[in-house]
Structure 1
């Protein structure tokens, strides 16, 4: 049942009058909506953020009437209730609404900050994160950033204000709402709104629906966290190839560990935290930067090494790195890292030469296919 259906009869004339006035000037507000959408879209041009899309809408007549019908109960028994929005054309801040839809959670904050910096065009009068309450209460709900913006000397707003009241000075100041959320949160909220808030028969509502919505919100949070982690790992990995930035970082033992655990987290069976030998093996070939290690640890190379040697046990980082270097540098790796050729005892040289022969046999078989 809508707020209009429950409205006290004594308040109906005022709401009906406001609704008629809204219907009269709504075409002007639609133009304001188009201008606001274009202005918000333009903010992101040439920035680090490209939203998936920016949409906008002007509140429908039915929705306006329903919101204008919201009541505050009287504190005096027998007295008529009052309207929450006695002058809805001026009190409501969501008649014009813009939505900015991003890909990842961190982009919501980036978008909000970019919009709030446009101080020559907008004055931010409110900034609220809709998921804060659910986080602090230990419950789940969709995440959304809501900005309340006041336009500054907008020509489209001035045209609307002249249509609303020709006798008043049109200053071009108007409140609108901008919602910023991820595409997953947007999909969830749209489905929830259709089912939860547009249900034609509230008697048909089941508590199980609430339980299901809570469950899907929890799953949504987990999925978004996974995507955020993927993005962070992607940014880290691409940084390894930046020869003027992260890629130039020297390969200390700790750096070797960090790069390895980022690129090959599934191959990390070291029983200690000593990555010094790995750094020494790399340095023997003059591989001393992050980019050189990232170039070495390519998936196709590692797959070939595994197939060539048919390891009885999955190798740990030190052994696998040793094998990859042997695959790339062959006899040179043996000469640089093993005992001298004339040493009385040479267990490492013998092992490396045996593995090198296995690799040569594998390469020959692959070439003959």
Structure 2
């Protein structure tokens, strides 16, 4: 009878411990090679995602730990528990080198799938969640690939040694990864053995995670749609009363009206958005109305002696338009230095015959709402009777 490696088919008890130790001994000399392979595939993946402007949460790379490799080598077969699952572990175990790509949103998983198909030779592609259901095991979906470097890369000297090497790639969302990380601590693996109450809780949790993933994706889509709509209205110089003040919409609007300023950070626009909301502004239309009444360059020269940056000029216009209300409602209203500085600028404006307005965005919004309500009522009264 033919023997397969370390398996003695005539023996009644297979020596799993010896099988494990032999597997580790055979695997140890190649650990460095698989670490290099994982690092190389990670680098290729990072560059490929960057070219496509796909932003993952993180990319992890590793060579399988020898002890972990040994434990996997010693797993019993599902068909015959008296025999190991892997008769030749060094050949049969395919995750000796692996990378894990974690994404923010489910749609990014699809984008990464397309990238992997274009950049690598895909040997195998599997959705883990589907196989878990078939095996009646609990788990949460993630996508697994077995890849090789494609021929165009292995033709290059630096990649030739990886020409036949296989690497596993896992792609998950953050929520899928959270489930996977705690899955090792879940005692019950089969739905046939789990108590009914705990089973219901497992199923509810899996459903909640899936709903959360979908909702995060829907929120991202809605945010993108609002941003695109705001950019369209701003570019067309259309009515901006429906455009909320957000860091993105404010940046787009100010770039158009006051000129772009590449020195400004995302935090600067986030802060300025909070200031406008604190002052009582609710739409870009109000900001547009205020800016139309003043020459921002003139105010900047009077206040600072020269033309300042985009957001500083906006602050000067707001100060001139709101007067004392700007100082009283500003987040720094409690600071003496702020009050003194702004009142000093107000005096310079007055000395240069700049009209100091009493614009109140809160009152303005109330007037607009009252007018709209009156027009709606009048419209209803003027409708012809049936």
Structure 2-normalised TM-score? 0.53
Report how far residue 185 of structure 1 moved.
1.5
Partner of residue 364, structure 1: none
Report how far residue 292 of structure 1 moved.
2.9
Question: Is 1:41 aligned with 2:50?
Answer: no
String of CA shifts for 1:66-99, please: whole Å, max 9, x gaps.
Answer: 2112333777xxxx94432222112111111111
Partner of residue 74, structure 2: 69
Within 5 Å, give how 1:268-347 maps onto structure 2: 292=238, 295-299=240-244, 300-301=282-283, 307-308=366-367
One of 228, 236, 239 as aligned partner of 2:217: 228
Partner of residue 179, structure 1: 170
Partner of residue 196, structure 1: 186
The CA distance in 2 between the partners of 1:150 and 1:31, in whole Å, is 14
5+ residue gaps, structure 2: 1-11, 245-281, 287-361
Matched residue SS, 1:188: helix
Pick closer, same or farther for the CA change 1:47–1:217 going to 2, 3 Å: same
Partner of residue 123, structure 2: 125
Pick closer, same or farther for the CA change 1:20–1:141 going to 2, 3 Å: closer
Matched residue SS, 1:99: strand
Indicate if the aligned counterparts of 2:125 and 2:143 stay in contact, CA closer than 8 A: yes
Pick closer, same or farther for the CA change 1:73–1:91 going to 2, 3 Å: closer
Indicate if the aligned counterparts of 2:24 and 2:69 stay in contact, CA closer than 8 A: yes
Matched residue SS, 1:292: coil
Matched residue SS, 1:296: coil
Partner of residue 214, structure 1: 203
5+ residue gaps, structure 1: 1-6, 160-170, 200-204, 249-288, 324-346, 352-369
Partner of residue 105, structure 1: 106
Report how far residue 10 of structure 1 moved.
3.9
Indicate if the aligned counterparts of 1:32 and 1:157 stay in contact, CA closer than 8 A: no
Let me know the Cα RMSD of the aligned residues: 4.3
Matched residue SS, 1:224: helix
Matched residue SS, 2:238: helix
Report how far residue 155 of structure 1 moved.
6.5
Partner of residue 334, structure 2: none
Pick closer, same or farther for the CA change 1:44–1:230 going to 2, 3 Å: same
The CA distance in 2 between the partners of 1:53 and 1:158, in whole Å, is 27
Pick closer, same or farther for the CA change 1:128–1:18 going to 2, 3 Å: same
Question: Is 1:29 aligned with 2:69?
Answer: no
String of CA shifts for 1:292-324, please: whole Å, max 9, x gaps.
Answer: 35x22135159766634776xxx9xxx56968x
Bigger relative contact order, structure 1 or 2, given CA contacts below 8 A and separation 6+?
1
String of CA shifts for 1:311-368, please: whole Å, max 9, x gaps.
Answer: 6xxx9xxx56968xxxxxxxxxxxxxxxxxxxxxxx66x99xxxxxxxxxxxxxxxxx
Partner of residue 51, structure 1: 56
Question: Is 1:144 aligned with 2:134?
Answer: no
Indicate if the aligned counterparts of 2:86 and 2:92 stay in contact, CA closer than 8 A: yes
Report how far residue 43 of structure 1 moved.
1.5
Report how far residue 207 of structure 1 moved.
6.9
Pick closer, same or farther for the CA change 1:143–1:89 going to 2, 3 Å: same
Report how far residue 28 of structure 1 moved.
2.5
